[in-house]
Amino acid sequence: MSDAVLDSAVHHQTFTAIGQSMPRVEDYRLLTGTAKYLDDIEVPHALHATFVRSPYAHARIFRIQTDQAMAVPGVVAVVTGQDLARWTQPARMAPPIEGLFPMEMTTLPIDKVRFDGDPVACVVAADRYTAEDAAELVMVEYEVLPAVTDMFAAAEEGTPLVDETLSSNLVSHQTYAKGNVAGRFAEADVIVEATFSQHRQTHVPMETRGCVAVWDDGRQHLTFYIGTQVPHPMRTTLAARMGLKETQVNVISPDIGGAFGQKIALYREELTVAALARELHRPIRWREDRMENLRAASHAREDFVKTRAAVTKDGRILALHADLFSDFGAYSFFPANYMIRVVAMLLPGPYKIQDYSYEVKVALTNKCPAGPMRAPMAIASWVTEGTIDAVARKLKLDPVEVRRINMLKQDDLPYLTATTELYEDITPRETLDRAVHSFDYHVRRKEQERLRVQGKYRGIGICSVIESTTYGSEFYRKAGISGTGHEAAWVRIEPTGVVNASAGIMGSGQGYETVMTQAVADGLGCNPHDVAIHLGNTLLAPYGMGSRGSRGAVAGVGTTFLAAQQARIKVLAIAAHLLKLRSSKDLQLTDGQVVLETDGQWRPTGLNLRDIAQTAYLNPLALPDGMEPGIEAHVAYDPPAMTYSNSTHICEVEVHLDTGVISVGPYLVVEDAGTMLNPQLVEGQLLGATALGIGGVLFEHVVYDENGQNLTASLMDYLLPTAVETPEIQMIHMGTPNHRTPAGIKGMSEGGVMGAIGAVCNAVSDALSPLGIVVEQQPLSPSYIKSLVKKASKTAR
């Protein structure tokens, strides 16, 4: 891609399709039940796999007896970790990061199990019912070991080791300092401390994990159907672990019923199924059931942060120190410091804090492994804004004032943070002011006072969010993690003038096909109805890094936009030649028609995209000298290291002291996600993210008992919010374009989670402030709130 294309993409500001709430092109198939999710792909003669899982959190495997299971009619194979070790390579997680132990895991455990739900054997049978019958008959002899279930205890000396190749459960430990933190603390009028404890949660996509592996023995080729966010990285990993060349594997991702970060890694079950398909020469499918999904897929968010802020008496924050601790579970599917490091990186938030230090520790425990879940840095905004509220409480200042005193203004931009992140084109002060104003903040404060007299405890919570999006290659280099952040796309104009396009991203509900259609229509200048988008097949799509970290918009759609612009250059060059013009500079393609500017007016030329395509494919001799037939553009683009969206969440809650129940609402989000590709879809993402955050704060909780038994492995016990508990959310958009990205896109869809956690927690603390209560841990269950109220009233007495 030429610099000219990027330059024109960044500064090209007239859109006809981008910015419209175009109804989604995906919807028809989803609404009529004709979409194809993994289980809807029919594979003749496919066998069904199911897994035998450990009932213990930590135990040695002595013996696995499979003969009874094998005797069940319809059972084809029962295999264990020993078998898989012969057929596959172990996974090694060893990025060169100081303070991070390398970890390795076999495809299935061989010597010991490390959490309740760890897979120990795989049964393959004619159907799932039979496979489950047989799985009950696999006899595993265990020696139960003491379980490590608390991350703080895990890190202490003498605690049993989760991974016996390591010298400690403290798998990762780093420190960082910028500026003169100690000096600033010495200067401070006050030092304010606050603690924040977030509970373990899980993604719960409505479609659980699953895969179908089809091995073609003649071609020595594996077709692997899997709902994955990252088809190409999945292919690379799968091929490597199976000892295959990448040419021998195709990954096909059908429609995905939600992912939220749970569908990035190559999981052990999936690799097992792929390996078995090759060994047995039979297609095999696996569908995780819901209890397995809750117990053994991937968990997230179990983080603890303690902050210390050095503050002047008028509320200015001089320096910040944070201690972070994270529970990583039993295995390493990602670098152990990967997610909590981003929290530390973001903690200064939208505030001018150049003197900042942190210490990050990550511990292994006998619990389900952790992975990124929509907003892996979810706790960050609560910590930042909760610290600000703590400062306000200590100094008896209005929390809005403390924010204004410390917040970045337009004059401060571009701004290099204490963690060397570059903030540009963000509007934290503007979203805050707009939120405070639109929410009638001061009126509500008075009302709050009035109601307190009547025994009603209302609180207002504010949370400003700096949302990291895009994650370009430079981010990975800085983080020391292998991987890149570039993306690739192709746009192909077919002989009839219709357009096929593809990119490496893979959607799981975001509406990529729609926004990519819009981007192609504007980048090229054609009618959106003539565009078709093809995602998720690694033989069809260009190698890209897939969908994670809110990179779909800038990296995925941005790259597609660039490819469409590239194609347009060729279309117009052909048009100029056919019109016998010396250059194409006065030509434009609009809605598929070639128009010519004369005397400041765009006039039809009589040529359209179909004419150009016909020429390019069917009459190449009519093309300009030396031009290749056909019209295909292939573009790779490495976006900025990071782009930032920002927002302010503000909400009111009422805490019912007697029941401990919290009602949330009204709830307002003022957001600046840059150029909105499709406002309706942006709102959809924001609503979903905010609801996920609220649900996480109030309801969702993975609970383990002291022996490491998962107590919440059904949807009756792991509580997702329903339509009744989810409040109505109002939204205001600002739309400040990013000046470095195609079309000014920023990306979004995780900030809603971050903002909701902070806003709701801060509001509850505000409501309970007359009782001297500050919520320091989630979830804010009625039981927890009641206990706080009881404790406070005892103290008062």
Q: Which stretch binds other proteins (CB under 8 A): 327-335, 438-446, 478-486, 775-783?
A: 775-783
SS (H, E, C) 201-238: EECCCCCCCEEEEEEECCCCEEEEEECCCCHHHHHHHH
Task: Specify the pairing of strand 730-733 against strand 662-672.
Answer: parallel
**Binding of other proteins at residue 31 (CB under 8 A)?**
yes
- Does 40 contact other proteins by CB under 8 A? yes
Does residue 454 touch other proteins according to CB under 8 A?
no
Binder among 34, 165, 583, 598 for other proteins (CB under 8 A): 34
- Asked if residue 289 binds other proteins (CB under 8 A), the reply is yes
Shortest distance, position 720 Cβ to other proteins, whole Å: 5
Give the C-alpha separation, 326 to 343, whole Å.
11
At closest approach, how far in Å is the CB of 128 from other proteins? 6
Structure tokens at 611: 């004419």
Q: What are the angstrom distances between the C-alpha of 304 and each of 47, 197, 383, 597?
A: 44, 4, 10, 61
For residue 44, state whether it binds other proteins (rule: CB under 8 A).
no
Q: Which one of the spans 127-135, 228-236, 354-362, 595-603 is the region binding other proteins (CB under 8 A)?
A: 127-135
The nearest distance, CB 506 to other proteins, in angstroms, is 12
CA distance linking residue 782 with residue 662, whole number of Å? 7
Shortest distance, position 243 Cβ to other proteins, whole Å:
33
Q: Is 612 helix (H, G, I), strand (E, B) or coil?
A: helix
CB of 35 to other proteins, least distance (A): 6
205 binds other proteins (CB under 8 A): yes
796 binds other proteins (CB under 8 A): no
Query: Which of 258, 483, 495, 665 is close enough to bind other proteins by CB under 8 A?
Result: 258
- Cross-strand bridge partners of residue 142: 61
Q: What radius of gyration, in Å, describes the C-alpha atoms of the chain?
A: 28
Q: How far is the CB of 24 from other proteins (least distance, A)?
A: 7
Burial 499-517 (b: 16+ CB within 10 A, else e): bbbbbbbbbbbbbbbbbbb
Q: Please tell me the distance from the alpha carbon of residue 326 to that of residue 98, in angstroms, as a whole number.
A: 17
Q: Residue 255, interface with other proteins (CB under 8 A)?
A: yes
Q: Which conformational region is residue 76 in: left (phi greater than 0), alpha (psi within -120 to 50 degrees), or beta?
A: alpha
Which residue, chain included where needed, has tokens 């919807």? 27
Closest separation in Å from C-beta 139 to other proteins: 17
Q: How far apart are CA 768 and CA 770, in angstroms?
A: 6
Q: Does 444 bind other proteins (CB under 8 A)?
A: no
**CB 505 to other proteins: min, Å:** 15
- The span of 24-32, 113-121, 317-325, 414-422 binding other proteins (CB under 8 A) equals 24-32
Q: Are 760 and 697 in contact (CB under 8 A)?
A: yes
Contact flags string 297-336 toward other proteins, x per CB under 8 A = ----------------------------------------
d(CA 632, CA 613): 11
Biggest CA pair distance of the chain: 95
Residue 35 in the binding site for other proteins (CB under 8 A):
yes
Q: Which residues contact 653 (CB under 8 A, 6 or more apart)?
A: 458, 459, 461, 662, 663, 664, 665, 760, 763, 764, 767
Binding segment toward other proteins, per CB under 8 A, in 177-185, 255-263, 516-524, 590-598: 255-263
Report how many residues bind other proteins under the rule CB under 8 A.
80
Minimum distance from CB of 767 to other proteins (Å)? 18
Q: Is 256 in the site for other proteins (CB under 8 A)?
A: yes
Q: In this chain, which of 206, 416, 539, 618 binds other proteins, going by CB under 8 A?
A: 206
Q: How far is the CB of 31 from other proteins (least distance, A)?
A: 4
| Identity at 504, one-letter amino acid code | G
Do 213 and 277 touch, CB atoms closer than 8 A? Answer: yes
CA distances from 757 to 193, 342, 388, 539 (A): 19, 17, 15, 40
Q: How far is the CB of 652 from other proteins (least distance, A)?
A: 17
CB of 211 to other proteins, least distance (A): 16
Residue with Cβ nearer other proteins (124 or 239): 124
Contacts of 619 (CB under 8 A, 6+ apart): none
Distance CA 271, CA 209 (A): 12
Q: How far apart are CA 53 and CA 121, in angstroms?
A: 7
Q: Which is nearer to other proteins, 24 or 58 (CB)?
A: 24
Whose Cβ is closer to other proteins: residue 73's or residue 218's? 73
Instruction: Looking at residues 649 to 688 of the shown chain, list those that interact with other proteins (rule: CB under 8 A).
Output: 658-661, 680-681, 683-684, 687-688
136 lines the binding site for other proteins (CB under 8 A)? yes
**Which three-class secondary structure state does DSSP give residue 767?**
helix
Q: How far is CA 413 from the centre of its chain?
A: 27
Question: Which of 621, 611, 591 minimizes the C-alpha distance to 496?
Answer: 611
Going by C-alpha positions, the residue among 306, 376, 385 that lies closest to residue 763 is: 385
Residue 205 has, within 13 A of its CA and on its CB side, a CA count of 25
Q: Does 699 bind other proteins (CB under 8 A)?
A: yes
The CA distance from 784 to 796, in Å, is 18
In the complex with other proteins, the residue whose CB is nearer, 28 or 62, is: 28
CB closer to other proteins out of 38 and 271: 38
Instruction: Return the sign of the alpha-carbon dihedral for residues 617, 623, 627, 632.
Output: negative
User: Binding of other proteins at residue 563 (CB under 8 A)?
Assistant: no
Per CB under 8 A, does 729 bind other proteins?
Answer: yes
225/331 with CB nearer other proteins: 225
Task: Please say which residue, 635 or 682, places its beta carbon nearer to other proteins.
Answer: 682
Stretch that binds other proteins, among 92-100, 360-368, 401-409, 782-790 (CB under 8 A): 782-790
Q: Which of 43, 481, 636, 719 binds other proteins (CB under 8 A)?
A: 719
Please spell the DSSP secondary structure of 528-546, one letter per residue: GGGEEEE-SBTTTS-----
- CB-CB contact of 273 with 77 (8 Å): no
Q: Among residue numbers 462 through 501, which ones bind other proteins (CB under 8 A)?
A: none
Query: At what angle are helices 751-767 and 679-698 packed, to 10 degrees?
Result: 50
Question: CA angle 101-106-112, nearest 5°?
Answer: 90
Dist. CA 661–CA 779, nearest whole Å:
12
State which amino acid sits at residue 112.
Answer: K
Q: Does 692 bind other proteins (CB under 8 A)?
A: yes
Question: For residues 73 and 600, which CB has a smaller minimum distance to other proteins in the complex?
Answer: 73
- List binders of other proteins among 46-85 (CB under 8 A): 73-74
Q: Is 30 in the site for other proteins (CB under 8 A)?
A: yes
Q: Which of 443, 453, 621, 723 touches other proteins by CB under 8 A?
A: 723
Between 509 and 744, name the residue whose CB sits nearer to other proteins. 509
Supply the minimum distance, in Å, between the C-beta of residue 684 and other proteins.
5
- Between 37 and 617, whose beta carbon lies closer to other proteins? 37
* 130/337 with CB nearer other proteins: 130
Shortest distance, position 113 Cβ to other proteins, whole Å: 21
717 binds other proteins (CB under 8 A): yes
Minimum CB separation of residue 773 from other proteins in Å reads: 17
Residue 716 contacts other proteins per CB under 8 A = yes
732 binds other proteins (CB under 8 A): no
